[in-house]
A and B are shown apart, each in its own frame.
Chain A
Amino acid sequence: MSALIEFQNVCFRYTEGRRDILKNLSLSVEAGDFVAVLGHNGSGKSTLAKHINAILLPTEGKVTVAGLDTSVEDNLPAIRRTAGMVFQNPDNQIIATMVEEDVAFALENLGVPHDEMVKRVDEALDSVGMLEFKKYATTKLSGGQKQRIAIAGVTAMRPDIIVFDEPTAMLDPQGREDVINIAKKLNEQGITVIYITHYMEEAAQAKRIVVLNDGEILLDGTPHYVFQNAGLLTSVGLDVPQSTSLMFLLRSHGIKVPLAVLNEEECVSVLSDILTRKNQT
């Protein structure tokens, strides 16, 4: 039995003769994992994401999702149902004018009967905390809220995998936090999450980080392992935020601190907590 997502020696280029965007890349993801894919612009991370549900097909090599080869046309409906995708720009992935209708879009396409559809739309909206906005016009929502609707539109399909392609790049800090928290919650419910991002703070909350550079895997392992190689990350243009690297250093010295520290303020409050505890004992 192979892994849920399997990349076997995948090469990808848009046109023959142009540079390879993915270079002989092999990767396997087990069911239930939460994988963050990090990389600077042009590292091929979005290209990798688009291979998972057959939006792009490998030029060489093979991608299988739940055992289905993405290059076989007949597999497409099953693959798209297994692996949902959330994109960067919330405005460009909302199809309907009303929230509930947009969430129902995938279900309409799949031919889900009406009663079942109503139930699943409510469930999906509830899971992203947007049930009260059911009857709203999608254009009236904030960026973060739109992104949550887009996630609901995907979860309504009940996929096994959700690929997030830089879902927070266009959002404000509050929206970013909401989205990463929803991704974590969905993962706890058993959905395999692939989370493409260039924010270290978000990647730090994953179970596994894959760092891409020029279409190749540079580092692959737990956040702990990856952040230990801060020097290597900096050499490919990825900056580990000081607060994050400090937290990892403290952890590696056996001090219990949370992994995900989003900004300096939070870092300060975590440190002052520890210091007051130290003083008391």
Chain B
Amino acid sequence: MIKDITIGQYFPGDSVIHRLDPRVKIVLTLLYIAFLFIIQTAATYVFALAVTVFFVILTKIPLKMYLRGLKPLLFILIFTAFLNVFYSTGEPLFQFWIFTVTLQGIKNAVFMILRIFMLVISTSMLTYTTSPIVLTGGLERLLSPLAKIRLPVHEFSMMMTIALRFIPTLLEETDKIMNAQKARGADFETGGLIKRAKALAPILIPLFISAFRRADDLATAMECRCYTGSGEGRTHYVTYSMSASDYAAIGIMIVIIAVAILLNFVTVMGF
């Protein structure tokens, strides 16, 4: 069923990470990404890997799910590793044909792979543990100061909210239209790429027409409920308040970054 497609890759759950304030989660993820770029030594990498695994365990989402997100990046990973191994300067370890492998190169390749690996995991963690709607709400609050310099923060978040709200409705509708066309003898499964793409027209056209009609209805309904289009003077039903675990999370992140900076001065066997 087309309805079963998961959107935004959110895995509902009730872990410590799930319950964090979305604003805190967004800021901490950004901090964590910055942290991944300051690590330089082997000792810091080991530490960072341990921290990442620790967070993954806290989310109670199987590591398999995170690794799935890495698949599309496999090519890039191998490619950068390849470049790093063969095109780094330093003491040559061994040589064949036109390639020179250096110890420095191998080190760079391993570090680069680890860094991308942790980057993907940490950003996935944010979307896996936060529902899109909460994420949008959190972003709106975080960016709200930008409304002062006339950035359309409220408009952006309203658009996101409505888009998210209508995804299931439109999927359901697509399903209905597909069935209706199938009942009239439409064939979506056979034929070459062009034939199949053409077969989509009888689905997309009714879907677009109905989407525009819905948009019109919705706009009227919103106006009837006193929506004026600006975020000014609006209050919010959902409020976010920071709990003890949010402060703890911030504290932990600060400690992690401090430890990483210190570990950057420690070199083990020249790494």
Decide: B165 and A138 in contact? CB cutoff 8 A: yes
Decide: A139 and B218 in contact? CB cutoff 8 A: no
A92 within 8 A of B: yes
Q: Which residue of B217, B220, B223, B237 is within 8 Å of A114 (Cβ)?
A: B237
Do A117 and B235 contact each other (CB < 8 Å), given the known contacts A95-B218, A138-B165?
Answer: yes
Rounded to whole Å, the gap between the CB of B218 and the closest CB of chain A is 5
Decide: B214 and A109 in contact? CB cutoff 8 A: no
A243 within 8 A of B: no
Decide: B225 and A105 in contact? CB cutoff 8 A: yes
Of chain A, the residue at the smallest CB distance from B164 is A97
Do A111 and B234 contact each other (CB < 8 Å), given the known contacts A92-B218, A154-B225?
Answer: yes
Q: Which residues of B contact A171 (CB under 8 A)?
A: none
A121 within 8 A of B: yes
Decide: A97 and B224 in contact? CB cutoff 8 A: no
Q: Which residue of B169, B218, B223 is within 8 Å of A80 (Cβ)?
A: B223
Q: Which residues of B contact A271 (CB under 8 A)?
A: none
Of chain A, the residue at the smallest CB distance from B218 is A92
B53 within 8 A of A: no
How many pairs, one residue from A and one from B, have CB atoms within 8 Å of each other in the complex?
A: 89
Decide: A121 and B237 in contact? CB cutoff 8 A: yes
Rounded to whole Å, the gap between the CB of A93 and the closest CB of chain B is 4
Q: Which residue of B165, B214, B220 is within 8 Å of A55 (Cβ)?
A: B220
A274 within 8 A of B: no
Complex alpha-carbon distance, A101 and B228, angstroms: 18
B83 within 8 A of A: no
A61 within 8 A of B: no
Of chain B, the residue at the smallest CB distance from A113 is B235
Q: Which residues of A contact B133 (CB under 8 A)?
A: 97-98
B192 within 8 A of A: no
A106 within 8 A of B: yes
Complex alpha-carbon distance, A45 and B253, angstroms: 62
Do A97 and B223 contact each other (CB < 8 Å), given the known contacts A111-B235, A112-B235, A114-B237?
Answer: no
Decide: B224 and A84 in contact? CB cutoff 8 A: yes
Complex alpha-carbon distance, A113 and B222, angstroms: 20
Complex alpha-carbon distance, A125 and B217, angstroms: 23
Decide: B237 and A77 in contact? CB cutoff 8 A: no
Q: Which residues of B contact A114 (CB under 8 A)?
A: 235-237, 239
B233 within 8 A of A: yes
Q: Which residue of A55, A94, A104, A150 is within 8 Å of B223 (Cβ)?
A: A55
Q: Which residues of A contact B234 (CB under 8 A)?
A: 108-109, 111
Q: Which of B160-215 contact A (CB under 8 A)?
A: 161-162, 164-165, 168-169, 213-214
Decide: B236 and A108 in contact? CB cutoff 8 A: yes
Could you say which interface size class chain B belongs to?
20 to 34
Complex alpha-carbon distance, A110 and B220, angstroms: 17
| Binary A-proximity of B33-66 (CB < 8 A = 1, otherwise 0) | 0000000000000000000000000000000000
Of chain A, the residue at the smallest CB distance from B171 is A139
Decide: B235 and A95 in contact? CB cutoff 8 A: no
Rounded to whole Å, the gap between the CB of A50 and the closest CB of chain B is 8
Decide: B214 and A95 in contact? CB cutoff 8 A: no
Do A100 and B237 contact each other (CB < 8 Å), given the known contacts A95-B161, A95-B221?
Answer: yes
B227 within 8 A of A: yes
Decide: B214 and A92 in contact? CB cutoff 8 A: yes
Rounded to whole Å, the gap between the CB of B249 and the closest CB of chain A is 25
Decide: B217 and A87 in contact? CB cutoff 8 A: yes
Of chain B, the residue at the smallest CB distance from A106 is B225
Complex alpha-carbon distance, A106 and B236, angstroms: 11
Do A94 and B236 contact each other (CB < 8 Å), given the known contacts A55-B223, A80-B224, A154-B225?
Answer: no
Rounded to whole Å, the gap between the CB of B134 and the closest CB of chain A is 10
Q: Which residue of A55, A96, A104 is within 8 Å of B224 (Cβ)?
A: A55
Q: Which of A140-158 contact B (CB under 8 A)?
A: 150, 153-154, 157
Rounded to whole Å, the gap between the CB of A63 and the closest CB of chain B is 15
B226 within 8 A of A: yes
Of chain A, the residue at the smallest CB distance from B236 is A108
Binding site for B on A (CB under 8 A): 53, 55, 77, 80-81, 84-85, 87, 89, 91-98, 100-101, 104-114, 117-118, 121, 138-139, 150, 153-154, 157
Known: A107-B235, A139-B165. 11 other contacts (CB 8 A): A55-B220, A80-B225, A84-B224, A85-B221, A91-B169, A91-B214, A94-B165, A97-B164, A104-B237, A114-B236, A121-B237
**Would you mind naming 5 contact pairs between A and B with Cβ atoms under 8 Å apart?**
A87-B217, A95-B165, A105-B227, A106-B225, A109-B234
The 3 closest A-B pairs by CB, nearest first: A104-B237, A92-B217, A93-B221
